[in-house]
Amino acid sequence: MCGIVGYIGRRDATPILIQGLKRLEYRGYDSFGLATVGSAVEVYKKAGRISDSEAGASGLAGSTGIGHTRWATHGEPNDVNAHPHIDCTGRIAVVHNGIIENYSDLKRQLTERGHTFLSETDTEVIAHLIEEHYDGDLLAAVNAILPLLEGSYAILAITENTQRIVAARDASPLVLGVGDAEVFAASDMTPLLEYTERVIFLEDGDVADITPDRYTIYHDGRVVERPIELINWCVEDARKGGFAHYMLKEIYEQPQSFYETIRAGIDDHVRQMIMEADEITLVACGTSYHTTLAFKYLAESFCNLPVRVEVGSEFKYFTPPLRGLVIAVSQSGETADTIAALKMAKARNCPTLAITNMQGSTVTRVADETILMRAGPEIGVAATKSYTAQLAALMQIINLRCDGAFDDALSHAHIAIGDVLLQELHEAVDLCAKAEHVFFVGRGPFYPVSMEGALKMKEISYIHAEGYAAGELKHGPFALLTPETPVVAVCTPGPTYGVMASNIKEMKARKAPVIALGVAGDTELAGFVDIFIPIPNTHLLVQVLTASVVLQLLAYHTACALQRDVDKPRNLAKSVTVE
Ligand code: AGP
């Protein structure tokens, strides 16, 4: 949650910071702000989207600055609570991503000592604490206050009259970008893509002292060397490229991102880890949890491998007995609940593997090994190409455990994914856009596919949607079925085809309109549902992918029909770094 960005160099900082914040807006977009070192510390901050009021920042001068885009935790989104926050003198400005858990104690103590607070945020205590310790040396002041902070932070601080940024991280991500006589800092790599491919991923506990010409990184008070890594994304990957929304672009990129993730394969260490596992536990949240549930169905049936899946937020407090390999699945690699679960698994001496799209992210540093998905930057808040790339990684694990039995299916899956991108969905979209509630149902691996279809629908269209195991609907939700409540059912050939068809007829008998996804040419199914959407008649693994992509498109077009803000749905952020 929240994105921070910093620039120090020879160029005008403001446009670089604005552009960087726009790239980070997916992390939070209820307000934004900047501070630069001009004639004094100059601050501009505003509630709302950057594009609505960025012009107001054009007066900020200086080639050193920091910026922030917010997802509110402490205090409602308004101009005052927006970052940066300043001290009583206005000489120090701070942006922060994370949560200072002991902020109310610190705030009380600071108030007693005469400090005046302007905002309701936890972050403002940092500016006032630095003020108390600042005697002209910003690095020393930041070092002095960090031990007082409990919680998580990535911080950037500046002061008047000094071309210097001090950065610190603990449990919130922070990346430095190294340019030619200029240095960038950001919550992730996306704001850096325009300027440099050389990055440094700071570690928890690192403090960086940055000037235009050099950066020095300290850990426990000692200078440390952190490796410069090359970013494996390019700037074009992060542009909208003529599409109406990032989400649509990212849906259309799935043939490539799936193919690239399969092509990257699994390295030898990871292979060995997977082959040695006699049981696998997966932890994840949201969409990523749905991929793990699909994996469970597929791995248990195809490779007879015991799999348990756990929601990250539950796992930390109700940790099950653990045996075997633990896999954390997270596109961002920064989801607090998933990281906490991963750390617990490590504490219990389980071998751990991360599956993520984000090079250098926290899960890659916590886990023993990583499978890096090749989805490229995903900007739309709704996960689409990262979902299918996670499935690519997980399906490779299944394929490995089954001695390559699915080589052919996986190496051609991108073609089938490409085929469904052109699927006509007008009728289904019209039906859903008029509805107040939509149910999504399936059996086996299509149950998590349905859960994901429902999640996509609700998060971007704001229509209430539920994903159910098809057999469960009659155990309660049937009470909600009406002629105005569409049910989207995935029904493809296999052992559950007959019972699925019966379930659909039961729904039809309650007058619910049924939109069915079935394999092309299934005239029987097409004959008794209201709307039939064909997907290619392929291997089950590939059907899981194609059905998912159709449901993404259904949600996308429904949200567009309702004129929703598809890429930035209300109340959400893409990277959920708080518990
Ligand atoms: C879904 O579209 C969301 N973006 C959300 O459910 C997401 O999958 C969840 O927050 C977990 O994120 P992660 O994969 O980055 O850990």
- pLDDT tens string 312-326: 989 888 888 888 999
Share of the chain above pLDDT 90, in %: 89
pLDDT at 523 over 80: yes
Q: From the alpha carbon of 356, which atom of ligand 1 is closest?
A: 14
Task: Indicate which residue's Cα is closest to atom 6 of ligand 1.
Answer: 286
DSSP 165: E
CATH code that applies to domain 3-236: 3.60.20.10
Contact at 8 Å (CB) between 360 and 199?
yes
CATH 3.60.20.10 domain position(s) in the chain: 3-236
**pLDDT attached to residue 323:** 86
Task: Indicate which residue's Cα is closest to atom 5 of ligand 1.
Answer: 286
Instruction: Name the H helices within 146-285.
Output: 246-252, 254-264, 268-276
pLDDT at 10 over 80: yes
The DSSP annotation for 11-69 comes to S-HHHHHHHHHHHHGGG--SEEEEEEESSSEEEEEEES-HHHHGGGGTT---SEEEEEE
Task: Indicate which residue's Cα is closest to atom 9 of ligand 1.
Answer: 286
pLDDT at 1 over 80: no
Q: Does residue 335 have its Cβ closer than 6 Å to ligand 1?
A: yes
**Rounded alpha-carbon distances, angstroms, from residue 296 to 289, 341, 352, 396:** 11, 18, 17, 13
Catalytic residue among 2, 350, 432, 560: 2
Specify the DSSP element, H or E, that contains 472.
none
Task: Indicate which residue's Cα is closest to atom 16 of ligand 1.
Answer: 330
- Which of 241, 244, 217 has its CA nearest to residue 228? 217
Q: Does residue 574 have its Cβ closer than 6 Å to ligand 1?
A: yes
- The tokens for 241 are 């490229």
Cα separation, 158 vs 87, whole angstroms = 11
Active site annotation includes 2: yes
Task: Indicate which residue's Cα is closest to atom 12 of ligand 1.
Answer: 330
Q: Does residue 459 have its Cβ closer than 6 Å to ligand 1?
A: yes
pLDDT at 577 over 80: no
Q: Does residue 83 have its Cβ closer than 6 Å to ligand 1?
A: no
Q: Is 486 exposed, middle or buried (0-12, 13-18, 19+ CB in 10 A)?
A: buried
Determine the residue of 190, 246, 288, 361 to mutate for testing ligand 1's pocket, defined as the one with the most ligand atoms within 8 A of the Cβ atom: 288
DSSP 471: G
What's the pLDDT tens digit per position in 52-86?
Answer: 999 999 999 999 999 999 988 889 989 999 999 99
- The tokens for 537 are 């008649």
- Of residues 454 and 233, more confidence is placed in 454
**pLDDT attached to residue 34:** 98
Q: Is 185 in a helix, a strand, or coil?
A: strand
pLDDT at 279 over 90: yes
Averaged confidence pLDDT in the chain:
95
**pLDDT attached to residue 250:** 96
**Whole-prediction pTM:** 0.90
**pLDDT attached to residue 470:** 95
Span 2-8, mean pLDDT? Answer: 96
Contact at 8 Å (CB) between 34 and 60?
yes
- The tokens for 479 are 């009470």
Class of domain 240-411: alpha beta
CATH 3.40.50.10490 domain position(s) in the chain: 240-411, 422-566
Contact at 8 Å (CB) between 416 and 536?
yes
Active site annotation includes 303: no
Q: Does residue 338 have its Cβ closer than 6 Å to ligand 1?
A: yes
- The tokens for 238 are 């992060």
Is 422-566 CATH 3.40.50.10490? yes
